[in-house]
Amino acid sequence: MGEERQVESSRVLRRPACGKLREPMFSQLADYHVHTPLCHHATGWPVDFARRAVELGLGELGFADHNPMAEYFDDWRMLREELPRYREEVEKARAAFPQLPIRLGLECDFLADREAWIEELSAMADWDFLIGSVHYLPEGWEVDHPKYVGRHEGHAEEIWTSYWRVYEQCIRSGLFDFVAHPDLPKKFGFHPAGDLRRFYEPVIAALAETGTPFEINTAGWRKDCREQYPARPFLELAAGAGVPLLINSDAHAVEELTAGFPEAMALAREAGYQQLARFERRKIRYVPLP
Q: How far apart (Å, rounded) are the C-alpha atoms in residues 258 and 260? A: 6
Q: Is 179 exposed, middle or buried (0-12, 13-18, 19+ CB in 10 A)?
A: buried
Is 33:40 a contact under the CB 8 Å cutoff?
A: no
Q: How far apart (Å, rounded) are the C-alpha atoms in residues 149 and 96? A: 41
30-288 CATH choice from 3.20.20.140, 3.30.565.10, 3.40.50.80, 3.10.20.30: 3.20.20.140
Q: How far apart (Å, rounded) are the C-alpha atoms in residues 21 and 162? A: 42
pTM of model > 0.85: yes
- The count of C-alpha atoms lying within 13 angstroms of the C-alpha of 32, restricted to the half-sphere facing its C-beta, is 31
| Contact partners, residue 147, CB within 8 Å, separation at least 6 | none
b (16+ CB within 10 A) / e for 233-263: bbbbbbbeeebbbbbbbbbbebebbbbbbbb
| Contact partners, residue 160, CB within 8 Å, separation at least 6 | 185, 191, 192, 196, 199
Is 192:180 a contact under the CB 8 Å cutoff?
A: no
The secondary structure element, H or E, covering residue 217 is strand 214-217
Is 133:169 a contact under the CB 8 Å cutoff?
A: no
Q: Tell me the pLDDT tens digit for each residue of 126-157.
A: 999 999 999 999 999 999 999 999 999 999 99
Q: Tell me the pLDDT tens digit for each residue of 102-129.
A: 999 999 999 999 999 999 999 999 999 9
Among 278, 34, 236, CA closest to 288: 278
State whether residue 61 is helix, strand or coil: strand
Q: What does the DSSP 8-state code read for residue 41?
A: S
Spans of the chain, pLDDT less than 70 = 1-24
The amino acid at residue 254 is V
Query: For the residues of 92-142, what is the DSSP string, one character each?
Result: HHHHH-TTS-EEEEEEEE--TT-HHHHHHHHTSS--SEEEEE--B-TTSSB
User: What are the residues facing 286 on neighbouring strands?
Assistant: 277
Q: What is the pLDDT at residue 25?
A: 76
Q: What is the pLDDT at residue 18?
A: 45
Measured between its terminal Cα atoms, the distance across the chain in Å is 34
Is 251:49 a contact under the CB 8 Å cutoff?
A: yes
Q: Is the C-alpha dihedral spanning 11, 19, 145, 135 positive or negative?
A: negative
The secondary structure element, H or E, covering residue 30 is strand 30-31
Q: How far apart (Å, rounded) are the C-alpha atoms in residues 207 and 216? A: 14
User: What are the residues facing 285 on neighbouring strands?
Assistant: 278
